[in-house]
């Protein structure tokens, strides 16, 4: 993996505005991600996290502002083979069955490359191996568990060996061992120079990797800096509840000011 040298940000979003129908979802979001960073995008439900990443990769049109990926404005000029996007898992299955290997192989196509390389099976299986699903390559995706389907989507993005990964809630509803396996894979890739922007509901197993947190609230950035300290797991003996009415609880991030009490990363 060869990251861009110099100061060109991997993601450079300026004053991004997105409207869906009559409602404005993002109201002027600035986001810069530099090479090698692991940025967590946090926020309550409806704060615009998913909308932001979906507009960063061109799925949603911008109503205003600009996005540059790897130095190029959004469009055909972006080196898409260096970008890996992992959407939120959709439970609805398409009508025709497809194997894990077929789904992962679709990640080998990008930009103007409309046909698979000759060794697509090997490449797809290597990506499945990275998420621990090589032995399920010929299984239909509908036969896999939710966590395994999520790992297939991650393998699909990894298949093209990206320099930048943009993940939308990759561990939502995924069992603990799968989360830890995912975190281990990400750690290895980050050590090799991968840049990551990841939407999370809670930092969870990825906490040690995250170098910066960006918190959205009602479509605006309300925090951009140090990630919140990892709180002890609920099962832990000294696990402590941090409630908004508790003035004594002051972490690195003033949680009660961010409106994250509902299903946030503390309690």
Residues that bind other proteins (CB under 8 A): 54, 57-59, 76, 78, 80, 83, 85, 87, 94-99, 102-103, 105-112, 114-116, 120, 138-140, 143-145, 148, 156, 166, 175-177
Q: How far is the CB of 252 from other proteins (least distance, A)?
A: 33
What is the Cα–Cα distance from 183 to 205, expressed in whole angstroms?
6
Query: Which CB, 141 or 256, lies closer to other proteins?
Result: 141
Query: Which CB, 76 or 91, lies closer to other proteins?
Result: 76
Provide the token pair at 123.
Answer: 């490449």
Q: How far is the CB of 217 from other proteins (least distance, A)?
A: 25
Q: How far is the CB of 129 from other proteins (least distance, A)?
A: 17
> Tokens 């911008």 identify what position?
62
Query: Which CB, 165 or 253, lies closer to other proteins?
Result: 165
* Largest distance between two CA atoms of the chain: 62
Cβ–Cβ < 8 Å for 83, 58: no
Query: Which CB, 113 or 188, lies closer to other proteins?
Result: 113
Burial class for 172, CB neighbours closer than 10 Å (0-12, 13-18, 19+): middle
Q: How far is the CB of 126 from other proteins (least distance, A)?
A: 17
* DSSP string for residues in 124-169: HHHHHHHTT-GGGTTSBGGGS-HHHHHHHHHHHHHTT--SEEEEES
What is the Cα–Cα distance from 198 to 213, expressed in whole angstroms?
10
Query: Which CB, 32 or 99, lies closer to other proteins?
Result: 99
Q: How far is the CB of 123 from other proteins (least distance, A)?
A: 12
């Amino acid at each position: 993996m060869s990251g861009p040298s110099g100061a060109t940000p991997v993601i450079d979003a300026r004053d991004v505005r997105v409207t869906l129908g009559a409602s404005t979802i993002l109201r002027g979001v600035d986001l810069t991600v530099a090479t090698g960073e692991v940025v967590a995008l946090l926020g309550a439900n409806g704060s615009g996290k998913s909308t932001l990443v979906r507009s960063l990769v061109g799925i949603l049109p911008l109503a205003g502002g600009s996005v540059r990926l790897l130095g190029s404005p959004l469009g055909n000029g972006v080196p898409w083979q260096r970008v890996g996007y992992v959407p939120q898992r959709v439970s609805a299955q398409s009508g025709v069955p497809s194997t894990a290997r077929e789904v992962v192989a679709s990640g080998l196509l990008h930009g103007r490359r409309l046909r698979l390389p000759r060794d697509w099976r090997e490449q797809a299986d290597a990506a499945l191996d990275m998420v621990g699903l090589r032995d399920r390559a010929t299984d239909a995706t509908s036969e896999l568990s939710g966590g395994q389907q999520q790992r297939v989507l991650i393998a699909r993005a990894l298949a093209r060996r990206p320099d930048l990964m943009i993940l939308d809630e990759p561990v939502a509803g995924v069992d603990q061992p799968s989360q830890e396996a995912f975190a281990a894979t990400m750690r290895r890739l980050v050590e090799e120079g991968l840049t990551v922007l990841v939407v999370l509901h809670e930092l969870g197993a990825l906490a040690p990797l995250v170098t910066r947190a960006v918190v959205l609230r009602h479509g605006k950035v309300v925090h951009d800096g140090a990630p919140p300290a990892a709180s002890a797991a609920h099962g832990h003996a000294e696990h402590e509840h941090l409630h908004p009415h508790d003035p004594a609880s002051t972490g690195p991030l003033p949680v009660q000011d961010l409106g994250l009490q509902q299903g946030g990363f503390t309690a």
